[in-house]
Chain A
């Protein structure tokens, strides 16, 4: 049911990992649904995304969409990254089965959540960016202690 590109990104995911002292970290998803994605961004003073890493708990499509999302935002400016939509992710993967489209939506939200975190830390607002619905970063912080 998955395209060759999806299988490739699932079996050989790009940019898996964490960024220490990241500029922004976003976690989206829901353990109940079985999909959780975390995106790390390293953004320089020109608002260019120098590095991007991810970790994902989820199915093949969840891993592939988050992997592809890191490729699509790498090297882009914050404003350009905002334009990366779930449709772009799906097209880059040669499509997803209908039942897996929500994974691509989650990948888009993961990027937004990381950008939202970055904006918060910088004390700025990013045009066109609202706090993503499935952002669970705050919940996670509460649970740590």
Chain B
């Protein structure tokens, strides 16, 4: 992955590409989250193949593209017709392709200005949460992250409850809790960066887009503060922490 979809970390793709090239290894990167958000140069970064999807660049859903470096041969896994120079059978989705191309054109043309704005809003949210909501842990790198990605774990509460109450306030987000994935384990990404299970269960991912504003960011944080407080008041884990803390202070 060029950039991680959950915690927004931008990977050292150029270094990886260099190592791959040195050892004659083909290098493919999933750039779905990163394309038009960060600069990508397939030559400089020694990238042999790269995937992009329309739905993450304000384009149509159900279409994407695979960049393949000249000289790299791939096998088809959709057989039948000779479309796309025998790489993928089936009549091309022309409307989708045109939509994707136009989306890419538009998103690349204002990348710097658009992402600078998103970063400002992103950082405002991060600063406010760190200042105003206790026991909140930022997941991922503070600066080397996607311009629109915010991911926090709010200790002592659970993610799905957060989402339902946020939804009630007209805010859509996602969580790394098990309840939202249908499995018993929370997000493998959060576990991999070393979070305890119960902390991972209390995580919230907020992603910004080009239409979001600072006013919305403030509304989000104000709502979050209220919701986190409400859920902590119900939480046995929070109650236990408070008691243990009081015992510590007295002794």
Contacts and interface: CB of A to CB of B under 8 A. Distances in A.
Interface of A: 2, 7, 10-11, 13, 16, 18, 27, 31-38, 55-60, 62-63, 99, 140, 144
B236 interface: yes
B197 A38 contact: no
A16 B160 contact: no
Given A34-B158, A34-B198, A57-B157, A10 B236 contact: no
Given A27-B236, A33-B184, A55-B235, A60 B161 contact: yes
Nearest to A37: B236
Interface stretch (B6-14, B86-94, B175-183): B175-183
A83 to B, nearest CB: 25
Given A11-B168, A13-B234, A16-B233, A63 B161 contact: yes
Contacts of B160: 59-60
Contact of A33 (B159, B178, B237, B238): B178
Contacts of B165: 11
Interface residues of B, number: 29
A31 B197 CA distance: 7
B184 A38 contact: no
Contacts, number: 68
Contacts of A10: 161, 164
Contacts of A13: 234
Interface string B146-186: 00000000001111110011001000000001110010101
B95 interface: no
B130 interface: no
